[in-house]
């Protein structure tokens, strides 16, 4: 127990303590200095970096979408507007179990099978982390109410109101105006991510596509302060979006509707042009589809139905349908012939009903040829060749002109090229030539090809739009105006080079050709075989002077590879009916082309369509009031 | 030591001057009180901002501070000899309570730290141990020859490791380590020979790899995260990244009270409790942090002066260890928030919002006051 007996030395104990306390105080001083250095380092060296990071934490840039420009017809009728749609959006990262959420949602919102499948498809496709993606569109008031009442059950889901494109005219304007589609992943790669930062749709067809930049507008943004949970606290500042420009078209909704009535459900296309401006007043392709179906995304079933239909409603016949022009080409060949002095107005031929190339036994028949050879048009000059649509005259004329002159001079009417200014999808048709045939078929040009070209058959192909543009040039007595959709000054800069050779024709060529076309419609009450081809159908009671020309195109082949019923095939092998016209003759206000697919004879079937449309435009339309429509855009 | 109390001078009572001519009031040291009130006042201002200007929080903290002062004043009235006598008893009681956790403890978030006295209160026995352990060690060394030799060192290590171990396995590594540290500080102040410490350090270094595998995943994660917060920026690293941004963006003079974006937009976690220094640093900048550290430094200085004036080994060791433990809390908290120490749940003394730890602190200050004011006449 030595320890216990040892005296406690208080002095030395205290000394030890003082020593230790002093050491401790020193250590504390060092440690506190370390803290000061550390905090000082963070607040000086790391200062600007930290400030930047704290700003990045708190400030989020939220894009504000511009409102897409409206599309209006020439009277101010809305062709494309924006309507509010409430969509259900999902942030997939915030959802623990997508299947559970979905099954809850199905019962709350009473979703259909189709909607459920679409929800799965869209929610599984996450391109950008922590961004919401729409999965259900156009919720009803009841659905919104049900969702909001059950909102606590659905973290990561929210109802967002957005403006979406709407086409109040539906299928009527589908092919004329085009439509927007939801931007998909493939689009997103090539798009300017900033410009489309909060825009979901992009113009995919027609003027919606061509004027995408103008219609889109410029995106704005808000700099907002958010908290750590991403909740917006306040808007700091920002730049307002510049809404898209409204686009006024030359289209006339009334005329378009009249054209649709005149087609009366038949397959075909109508293009009407204002010859003074080149403005396209009607551009109709039937059958069509409802473009509204595509705005939010079309279901597979609906899309397949449209895509596989034998009537091809998605196919824009007016600008992409390529048909032989048939006899509607004859006036243009006549113009070339007169212009090149190959013929004169008084030159005539004797038409026995058939034509033979020299040294060749093949018969090229006229349409009124009979086996007994007592058909034919008898004594025929250029005017009669037009109003009787004499084939033999033009067989002979084409051979006399020769393929080289034909393929060169027909260009001036816009054949063989896409001359429309603002319809990017328009096709160019086909204007055959020796070089073309050699290149594409590896065959020389045969004289028989020229004979066929004389009546618009053979290889030549035109679209209804091209035909209408050619008629407009004819109505203008040679002054070419490029067809266009929008009343847009900037189009003048875009004006394509005039078709080569246009404006070269001398003054004297127009009267006989237009006169011949006038007689197509107005020459009547003659003996058999002397009336205009269309007079009996449209000319008896017409109240204005119209120049017209019918045409009938051969059907080359059934395009679809599928097997259809025999009766259908038979119907679809009937000839296409054309009618081109302009009126009034002295002061043309409208030039148009009508095509009826498998429609039969041009004068009998297509001409009444043309007359009905022009009647509307010149007679009914003249006195009609401009419908009062709200032109106020939602801005 | 049975005669100690005979020679004790009356210390209690509302006198303004003790026998040595020092100012005192109800056994409270005026200097320590002044510094204490400054820190607490500063802390309340920061807390007001950290809680988004919520006066309810400030009031709740004021109530706790009131309780704390009450506790401190009460303990200050207890004569030190009584504390000395009670020390082993209290230590034993603390151990029993720690053991009671096993059958009766309440499990929260996978660890058992709380005991419930039904209808009265819930409390953590480990909080009591924060004071009982230094007390028992000071008591132990009070009777021993100092500096301690091998056997007392072993015994005191046992006294230290028993509660620390029980707390670490709750599991509550942070508190366990802090309690072990407070006990260890008594050992050092008692004169633990440096060579022992050297050997101990070597031992710890050798055992460290084994320790690495013994600790839990989340604890490993915290240590790894300290070295590289970007390792898990949305998980474990989030707190430290955000607090460093908060501190750094404060700059020299800060963004101004109530203007800190990191805290007010909730990027900074635990902004009114463990990470409150980041709010201070963001809103009052380097100047604010420096001021608080100066106040803490003065507090520690005064505490050390009080311990030097203590009349016996028990008083010296207890007073000194409480003071140094206090400074360790400050260092660990600020070190953790500024990213030089791993994240352990240590509040910033007197400033962080929170109940139990605050009361323990004030109880410790009460012990210091008691030791300081009840003194024999200094003959020197």
ipTM confidence score: 0.91
**Residue B132 pLDDT more than 90?**
yes
Long-range Cβ contact pairs of A128-131 (< 8 A, separation 24 or more): A129/A93, A130/A91, A130/A93, A131/A91
Q: Write out chain A residues lying below 8 Å of B146, CB-based.
A: 8, 12-13, 16
pLDDT in tens, A456-513: 999 999 999 999 999 999 999 988 888 999 987 666 655 555 666 556 788 899 999 9
**How many domains are contained in chain B?**
1
Q: Write out chain A residues lying below 8 Å of B339, CB-based.
A: 38
- Asked if the C-beta of A40 comes within 8 angstroms of chain B's C-beta atoms, the answer is yes
Contact (CB<8Å) A38/B340 = yes
Contact (CB<8Å) B293/A6 = no
How far away is chain B from the Cα of A237, in angstroms, using its nearest Cα? 17
From A547, A576, A548, select the one nearest A268 (Cα to Cα): A576
How far away is chain B from the Cα of A221, in angstroms, using its nearest Cα? 21
Please give the C-alpha separations between residue B6 and each of B3, B14, B307, in angstroms, as whole numbers. 5, 21, 22
Task: Check whether residue A348 and residue A396 sit in a common domain.
Answer: yes
Task: Check whether residue A203 and residue A309 sit in a common domain.
Answer: no
Residue A572 resides in a domain: yes
Contact between A425 and A206 under an 8 Å Cβ cutoff? The reply is yes
Domain boundary among A163, A190, A209: A163
Q: Write out chain A residues lying below 8 Å of B251, CB-based.
A: 43-44, 47, 51
Residue A44 resides in a domain: no
Task: Check whether residue A422 and residue A571 sit in a common domain.
Answer: yes
Task: Check whether residue A425 and residue A341 sit in a common domain.
Answer: yes
- Asked if the C-beta of A225 comes within 8 angstroms of chain B's C-beta atoms, the answer is yes
- Two tokens at A461? 């192909």
What proportions of chain A, in percent to the nearest 5, are helix, strand and coil? Answer: 40, 20, 40
Residue A41 resides in a domain: no
Q: How far apart are CA A156 and CA B86, in angstroms?
A: 59
The domain of B272 spans: 4-373
How far away is chain A from the Cα of B267, in angstroms, using its nearest Cα? 5
- Asked if the C-beta of A564 comes within 8 angstroms of chain B's C-beta atoms, the answer is no
Does this model's pTM top 0.80? no
Residue B279 resides in a domain: yes
Residue A18 resides in a domain: no
Among A85, A248, A327, A389, the active-site one is A327
Q: How many CB pairs under 8 A join A and B?
A: 142
Please give the C-alpha separations between residue A299 and each of A136, A291, A443, B18, B250, in angstroms, as whole numbers. 12, 13, 47, 93, 55
Please give the C-alpha separations between residue B231 and each of A91, A361, B228, B236, B237, in angstroms, as whole numbers. 25, 91, 6, 8, 7
Task: Check whether residue A408 and residue A329 sit in a common domain.
Answer: yes
Contact (CB<8Å) A24/B185 = yes
Contact (CB<8Å) B289/A39 = yes
**Residue B2 pLDDT more than 70?**
no
Domain boundary among A115, A140, A163: A163
Contact between A42 and A217 under an 8 Å Cβ cutoff? The reply is no
- Two tokens at A408? 């060169």
- Name residue, tokens 């006024």: A248
What is residue B134's predicted lDDT score, i.e. its pLDDT? 96
Residue B378 resides in a domain: no
Q: Looking at residue A265, what DSSP letter applies?
A: T
Of A24, A43, A229, the CB nearest to B266: A229
From B259, B261, B258, select the one nearest B242 (Cα to Cα): B261
Task: Check whether residue A223 and residue A307 sit in a common domain.
Answer: no
From A489, A62, A378, select the one nearest A240 (Cα to Cα): A62
As a whole-number percent, the residues of chain B with pLDDT over 70 amount to 89
The helix (run of H) or strand (run of E) holding residue B140 is: helix B125-142
Task: Check whether residue A387 and residue A244 sit in a common domain.
Answer: no
**How many domains are contained in chain A?**
3
How far away is chain B from the Cα of A420, in angstroms, using its nearest Cα? 57
Closest-approach residue (CA) in chain B for A234: B265
Residue B86 resides in a domain: yes
pLDDT in tens, A251-302: 999 999 999 999 999 999 999 999 998 999 999 999 999 999 998 888 888 8
Closest-approach residue (CA) in chain A for B293: A32
Contact (CB<8Å) B188/A57 = no
Domain boundary among A146, A163, A180: A163
Task: Check whether residue A114 and residue A241 sit in a common domain.
Answer: no
Handedness of CA A306, A308, A311, A314 (dihedral sign): positive
As a whole-number percent, the residues of chain B with pLDDT over 90 amount to 52
Contact (CB<8Å) B189/A227 = no
- Two tokens at A563? 């097997």
Residue A628 resides in a domain: no
Closest-approach residue (CA) in chain A for B187: A20
Q: How far apart are CA B101 and CA A402, in angstroms?
A: 112
State the Cα torsion A336-A337-A340-A343 to the nearest 10°.
Answer: -160
For B361, other C-beta atoms within 10 Å of its C-beta total: 23
Residue B380 resides in a domain: no
The domain of A139 spans: 84-163
Task: Check whether residue A115 and residue A146 sit in a common domain.
Answer: yes
Q: How many CA atoms lie within 13 A of A371 on its CB side?
A: 0
Residue A464 resides in a domain: yes
For B84, other C-beta atoms within 10 Å of its C-beta total: 22
SS3 A536: helix
Task: Check whether residue A159 and residue A303 sit in a common domain.
Answer: no
CB within 8 Å of A365: residues ≥ 6 apart: A353, A354, A355, A391
CA Rg, chain A, in Å? 37
Active site residue A327: yes
Residue B186 resides in a domain: yes
- Name residue, tokens 């004006």: A495
Select the residue from B245, B307, B331 to test the A interface by mutation, using most A Cβ atoms within 10 A: B245
Task: Check whether residue A330 and residue A466 sit in a common domain.
Answer: yes
First-to-last CA distance in chain B?
A: 21
As a whole-number percent, the residues of chain A with pLDDT over 70 amount to 90
How far away is chain B from the Cα of A38, in angstroms, using its nearest Cα? 7
């Amino acid at each position: 127990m030595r320890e216990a007996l040892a005296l406690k030395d208080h002095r030395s104990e205290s000394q030890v303590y003082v020593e230790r306390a002093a050491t401790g105080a020193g250590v504390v001083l060092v440690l506190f200095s370390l803290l000061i250095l550390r905090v000082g380092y963070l607040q000086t060296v790391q200062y600007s970096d930290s400030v930047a990071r704290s700003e990045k934490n708190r400030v989020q840039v939220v894009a504000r979408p511009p409102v897409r420009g409206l599309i209006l017809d020439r009277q101010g009728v809305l062709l494309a507007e924006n309507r509010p749609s409430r969509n259900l959006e999902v942030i997939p990262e915030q959802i623990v179990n997508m299947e559970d959420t979905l099954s809850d949602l199905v019962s709350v919102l009473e979703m259909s099978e189709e909607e459920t499948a679409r929800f799965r498809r869209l929610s599984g496709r996450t391109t950008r982390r922590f961004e919401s993606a729409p999965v259900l569109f156009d919720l009803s008031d009841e659905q919104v109410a049900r969702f909001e009442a059950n909102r606590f059950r659905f973290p990561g889901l929210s109802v967002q109101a957005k403006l979406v494109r709407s086409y109040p005219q539906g299928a009527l304007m589908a092919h004329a105006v085009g439509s927007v589609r939801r931007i998909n992943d493939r689009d997103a790669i090539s798009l300017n991510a900033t410009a489309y930062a909060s825009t979901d749709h992009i113009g995919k067809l027609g003027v919606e596509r061509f004027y995408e930049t103008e219609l889109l507008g410029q995106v704005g943004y808000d700099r907002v302060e958010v908290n750590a949970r991403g909740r917006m606290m306040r808007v700091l500042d920002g730049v307002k979006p510049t809404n898209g420009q409204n686009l006024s078209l030359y289209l006339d909704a009334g005329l378009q509707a009249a054209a649709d009535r005149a087609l009366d459900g038949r397959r075909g296309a109508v293009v009407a042009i204002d010859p003074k401006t080149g403005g396209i007043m009607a551009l109709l392709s039937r059958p069509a589809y409802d473009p509204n179906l595509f705005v939010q995304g079309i279901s597979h079933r609906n899309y397949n139905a449209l895509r596989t239909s034998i009537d091809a409603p998605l196919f824009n016949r007016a600008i992409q349908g390529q048909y032989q022009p048939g006899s509607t080409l004859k006036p243009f060949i006549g113009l070339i012939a007169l212009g090149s002095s190959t013929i004169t107005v008084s030159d005539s031929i004797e038409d026995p009903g058939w034509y033979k190339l020299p040294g060749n036994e093949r018969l090229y028949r006229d349409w009124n040829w009979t086996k007994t050879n007592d058909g034919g048009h008898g004594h025929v000059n250029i005017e009669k060749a037009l109003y009787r649509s004499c084939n033999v005259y033009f067989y002979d004329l084409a051979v006399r002109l020769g393929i080289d002159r034909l393929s060169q001079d027909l260009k001036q009417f816009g054949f063989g090229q896409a001359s429309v200014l603002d319809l990017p999808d328009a096709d160019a048709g086909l204007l055959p030539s020796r070089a073309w045939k050699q290149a594409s078929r590896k065959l020389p040009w045969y004289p028989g090809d020229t004979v066929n070209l004389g009546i618009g058959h053979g290889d030549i192909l035109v679209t209804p739009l091209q035909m209408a543009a050619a008629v407009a040039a004819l109505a203008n007595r040679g002054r070419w105006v490029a067809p266009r959709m929008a009343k847009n000054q900037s189009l003048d800069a875009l004006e394509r080079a005039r078709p080569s050779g246009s404006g070269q024709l001398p003054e004297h060529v127009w009267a006989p050709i237009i006169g011949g076309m006038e007689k197509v419609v107005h020459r009547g009450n003659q003996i058999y075989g002397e009336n205009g081809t269309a007079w009996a159908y449209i000319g008896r009671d017409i109240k204005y002077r119209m120049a017209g020309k019918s045409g009938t195109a051969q059907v080359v082949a059934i395009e679809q590879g599928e097997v259809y019923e025999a009766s259908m095939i038979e119907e679809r092998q009937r000839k296409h009916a054309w009618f081109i016209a302009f009126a009034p003759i002295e002061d043309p206000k409208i030039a148009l082309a009508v095509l009826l697919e498998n429609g039969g004879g041009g004068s009998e079937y297509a001409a009444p369509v043309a007359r009905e449309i022009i009647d509307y435009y010149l007679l009914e339309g003249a006195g009609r009031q401009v419908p009062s429509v709200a032109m106020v855009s939602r801005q | 030591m049975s005669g100690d109390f005979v020679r004790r001078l009356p210390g209690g009572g509302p006198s303004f001057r003790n026998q040595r001519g020092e100012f005192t009031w109800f056994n409270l040291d005026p200097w320590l009180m002044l510094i204490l009130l400054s820190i607490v006042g500063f802390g309340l201002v920061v807390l007001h901002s950290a809680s988004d200007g919520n006066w309810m929080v400030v009031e709740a903290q004021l109530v706790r501070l009131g309780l704390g002062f009450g506790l401190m004043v009460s303990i200050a009235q207890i004569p030190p000899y009584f504390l000395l006598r009670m020390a082993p008893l209290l230590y034993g009681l603390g151990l029993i309570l720690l053991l009671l956790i096993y059958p009766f403890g309440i499990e929260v978030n996978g660890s058992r730290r709380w005991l419930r006295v039904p209808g009265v209160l819930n409390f953590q026995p480990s909080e009591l141990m924060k004071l009982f352990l230094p007390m028992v060690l000071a008591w132990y060394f009070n009777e021993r020859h100092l500096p301690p030799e091998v056997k007392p060192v072993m015994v005191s290590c046992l006294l230290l490791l028993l509660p620390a171990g029980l707390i670490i396995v709750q599991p509550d590594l942070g508190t366990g380590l802090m309690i072990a540290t407070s006990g260890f500080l008594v050992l050092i102040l008692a004169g633990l020979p440096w060579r022992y410490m050297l050997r101990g350090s070597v031992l710890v270094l050798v055992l460290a790899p084994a320790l690495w595998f013994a600790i839990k995943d989340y604890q490993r994660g915290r240590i790894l995260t300290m070295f590289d917060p970007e390792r898990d920026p949305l998980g474990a690293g989030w707190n430290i990244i955000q607090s460093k941004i908060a501190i750094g963006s404060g700059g020299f003079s800060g963004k101004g009270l109530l203007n800190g974006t990191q805290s007010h937009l909730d990027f900074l976690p635990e902004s009114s409790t463990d990470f409150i220094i980041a709010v201070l640093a963001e809103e009052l900048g380097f100047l604010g942090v420096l001021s608080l550290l100066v106040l803490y430094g003065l507090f520690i200085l005064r505490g050390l002066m009080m311990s030097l004036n203590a009349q016996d080994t028990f008083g010296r060791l207890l007073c000194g260890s409480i003071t140094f433990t206090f400074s360790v809390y400050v260092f660990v908290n600020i070190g953790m928030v500024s990213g030089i120490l791993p994240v352990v749940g240590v509040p910033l003394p007197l400033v962080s919002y929170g109940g139990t730890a605050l009361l323990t602190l004030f109880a410790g200050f009460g012990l210091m006051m008691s030791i300081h004011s009840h003194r024999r006449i200094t003959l020197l």
